[in-house]
Structure 1
Amino acid sequence: MIALPYWRLSSFYLFYFALLGATAPFLALYFDYLGFSSARIGELLAIPMLMRCVAPSLWGWLSDYTGWHLAIVRFGAVCTLASFSLIFINKTYAWLAMVMALHAFFWHAVLPQFEVITLAHLQMQTACYSQIRLWGSVGFIFTVVIIGSLFDWLSLDIYPVVVVVMMTGIVGASLWVPNAQPVIHGNHFTGDSFLKQLRSHGVLTFYACVALMQMSHGPYYTFLTLYLKHFGYSRGVIGMLWALGVVAEVLMFLAMSRILARLSVQLVLLASFLLAAIRWLLLGSFAEIFWVLLLAQIMHAVTFASFHAAAIAFVQLSFGSRQQGQGQALYAALAGTGSALGALYSGYSWNLLGPTLTFNIASVAALAATVIISLRLQETH
């Protein structure tokens, strides 16, 4: 295939997104099991997303300044494990809020810097990124299917243990990955050059649309499991439905190198935003119809996979080699801002306005991104 440590890089994505598969569908379910209201659940899930607004930029600046991308990945992985383990001490709201904030500060240091390492190994073969990243989707699928079935016959009391096992896998994978540095062309870029490029045409527009896209995912990541449970779906079936979305995601990642070779980044982003708006309308109004629910989950291929692959490509095209850490970190930070807003608004509106209107708000956010990207972002190949 390509001369790079394929399996070492892939193993990290496998464990990292296996952890996401343990948290995205089931963390809200666990907090519900502990007896928290929908508003408190929304707040607890918003805390790590709020940390994602700040932490990646701080770690990104440090990594670009020092060049210690892999060291920061390893340090962040160890500290994530250590800080989340504090959950075994107490289960009060204040304590859990502290655990969510502390572990997220380190967790959100990890992925943006690992993306820099992966792209440095790939060098000019960025079209192969999706073939490595798809193993993250495989990890997610495996986790949601196994955990969904597991929780159908075991108590949710074991949930924190499952999460700690996933975090231990991330630590091990980070120690196995070899280091690589971005290739520097010409003089080193300064912080001023990063800000100058950030102000160039289309870059701020892109980041604003990233925030809107992630905001639109708020009800999906916060309440989908509880929402489907309300319609009578078992935890095992819910896990399979989450897995279906990620299977579609994997297939899209496999096709993204060919898609991006033929279509502009702008067009791929535009299609992703528009289909996201349609997906949230379907989930909000027709989730009790099983075939519509299946269709909505298959659409995860475009609302996540094509969007993420195009976004990574946009960031790499928009920033120099010494700016990549900050560019990827800002992408993570703006995604975190949108995710936090999505979790907060959905937490408060779920009982006040109901699931249908909550998903309709998500659809409006994605539609706004569609309009903005079509008017303001230049064609980017």
Structure 2
Amino acid sequence: MTALPYWRLSSFYLFYFALLGATAPFLALYFNHLGFSSARIGELVAIPMLMRCVAPNIWGWLGDYTGRRLAIVRIGAVCTLVSFSLIFVSKTYAWLALVMALHAFFWHAVLPQFEVITLAHLKGQTSRYSQIRLWGSIGFILTVVAMGRLFEWLNLDIYPVAVVVIMAGIIVASLWVPNAQPENQGNRLAGDGFLLQLRRPGVLAFYACVALMQMSHGPYYTFLTLHLEHLGYSRVVIGMLWALGVVAEVLMFLAMSRILARFSVQRVLMVSFLLAALRWLLLGSFAEFFWVLLLAQVLHAATFGSFHAAAIHFVQRSFGARQQGQGQALYAALAGTGGALGALYSGYSWNLLGPTLTFSIASLAALAAAVIIGIRSEE
């Protein structure tokens, strides 16, 4: 049996999610630094998420059709860096919108295909997925802490340079990873078409919940940093708070194999949705209280950690080997749809309705996901 290339797989997750750590907390801050309004910031942040509605399905189909998933990962990583580097040409709204769309088209090609490669290396040991994926969380933590300090010392004009350096790390990590192909999971699943598997009980409801959950994250990923700055928190403290959330996520990943062995995927998802609804209420109404803010960030263990691990497990068991890429891509696409809607509505409502009502809408979206998964679990 071939040994699991643990560190090679982990290094890729580290750099990939380091890039998310550079964009999720700080991209809106950078656009605010450039002088854009909250509505324009919401639109610019939504563009990469909208690309998740299109790009993963295109690349997912190509990966399933050709089987050359690792080549797609490497090409996507290189094109991500090249297209994002166009940001140095101009800082106008139209040009930045183009840069956001181009780099996201290639960036979102990468992760769904790499997830399939990782699961193929695990050879059915899906409980070990969280042990590899946690390095992505570590990369996120290191980035938000380092960038929080960097932007206290230097002007935000340095931001694009820092992002390009991380993108170069993704390329290097992708070149280090060995290839692997998923094995057939039984004749029925291997032979069934993607649409037929999609119509299996609970699968469409799951994807609807994914979109709602990511929609609920819209205000968090778009405006949390600006929200906390307005409340008087420093960028160093804000970076530490983002890191705290991901530390909680890491601890959850470490525990997920035991949790999924004891509880059903549907039960884990429902609890994650309910805790997300609570978290957004806390952030929208009580973030000026530091202890409440700490609690809200610890809840990231549920709103991302347990949710994502359970969702990956659900997708992996719901699709055959030949449809794994499309299943993961649809997960990314529905997450992108929800995330884009969340960024857009929060961008328009932030000044109009204020943080409290904007986060309350997010809470309702997460609660709706809990209701849907609860109904499906009882059928």
TM range (shorter): over 0.9
Q: How many angstroms does 1:377 deviate by?
A: 3.8
C-alpha distance in 2 between matches for 1:322 and 1:292? 46
Match of 1:329 in 2: 329
1:201-258 deviation digits (Å, cap 9, x = unpaired): 1000000000000000000000000000001100000000000000000000000011
Once the two structures are superposed, the pairs formed by residues 1-381 of structure 1 within 5 Å of their partners are 3-185=3-185, 193-377=193-377
Instruction: Extract unaligned runs of 5+ from structure 1.
Output: none
1:34-71 deviation digits (Å, cap 9, x = unpaired): 00000000000000000000100010000000001101
C-alpha distance in 2 between matches for 1:96 and 1:17? 22
Instruction: Extract unaligned runs of 5+ from structure 2.
Output: none
Q: Which amino acid aligns with 1:145?
A: V
C-alpha distance in 2 between matches for 1:170 and 1:66? 23
The farther-off stretch of 208-217 and 179-188 is 179-188
Q: How many angstroms does 1:3 deviate by?
A: 3.0
Contact 1:54 1:333 in 2 (8 A): yes
C-alpha distance in 2 between matches for 1:348 and 1:282? 21
Q: Which amino acid aligns with 1:18?
A: A
Q: Which amino acid aligns with 1:78?
A: V
* Residue 116 to residue 271, structure 1, CA distance change in 2 (3 Å): same
* Residue 115 to residue 29, structure 1, CA distance change in 2 (3 Å): same
C-alpha distance in 2 between matches for 1:185 and 1:267? 24
Contact 1:211 1:338 in 2 (8 A): yes
C-alpha distance in 2 between matches for 1:264 and 1:201? 15
C-alpha distance in 2 between matches for 1:20 and 1:185? 32
Q: How many angstroms does 1:188 deviate by?
A: 9.3
Q: How many angstroms does 1:133 deviate by?
A: 0.2
Contact 1:246 1:301 in 2 (8 A): yes
1:308-328 deviation digits (Å, cap 9, x = unpaired): 000000001100011100000
Q: How many angstroms does 1:200 deviate by?
A: 1.3
SS in 2 for 1:113: helix
Give the structure-1-normalised TM-score.
0.97
Q: Which amino acid aligns with 1:201?
A: P
SS in 2 for 1:375: helix
1:23-44 deviation digits (Å, cap 9, x = unpaired): 0000000000000000000000
* Residue 106 to residue 188, structure 1, CA distance change in 2 (3 Å): farther
Q: Which amino acid aligns with 1:264?
A: S
Q: How many angstroms does 1:124 deviate by?
A: 1.4
C-alpha distance in 2 between matches for 1:255 and 1:139? 19
Q: How many angstroms does 1:376 deviate by?
A: 1.4
Q: Which amino acid aligns with 1:226?
A: L
Q: How many angstroms does 1:189 deviate by?
A: 6.8
C-alpha distance in 2 between matches for 1:377 and 1:214? 21
SS in 2 for 1:233: coil
C-alpha distance in 2 between matches for 1:363 and 1:255? 26
Contact 2:192 2:320 in 1 (8 A): no
Contact 1:77 1:107 in 2 (8 A): yes
Contact 1:188 1:322 in 2 (8 A): no
Aligned residues: 378
C-alpha distance in 2 between matches for 1:253 and 1:3? 22
Q: Which amino acid aligns with 2:114?
A: F
Contact 1:206 1:377 in 2 (8 A): no
C-alpha distance in 1 between matches for 2:349 and 2:191? 40
C-alpha distance in 1 between matches for 2:124 and 2:186? 17
Q: How many angstroms does 1:185 deviate by?
A: 4.7
Contact 1:266 1:378 in 2 (8 A): no
SS in 2 for 1:260: helix
SS in 2 for 1:35: coil
SS in 2 for 1:179: coil
SS in 2 for 1:181: coil
1:291-344 deviation digits (Å, cap 9, x = unpaired): 000000000000000000000000011000111000000000000000000000
C-alpha distance in 2 between matches for 1:203 and 1:377? 11
Give the structure-2-normalised TM-score.
0.98
C-alpha distance in 2 between matches for 1:280 and 1:146? 26
* Residue 187 to residue 375, structure 1, CA distance change in 2 (3 Å): closer
C-alpha distance in 2 between matches for 1:8 and 1:328? 21
C-alpha distance in 2 between matches for 1:70 and 1:5? 14
Q: How many angstroms does 1:184 deviate by?
A: 2.3
C-alpha distance in 2 between matches for 1:165 and 1:185? 39
C-alpha distance in 1 between matches for 2:274 and 2:94? 39
C-alpha distance in 2 between matches for 1:187 and 1:310? 25
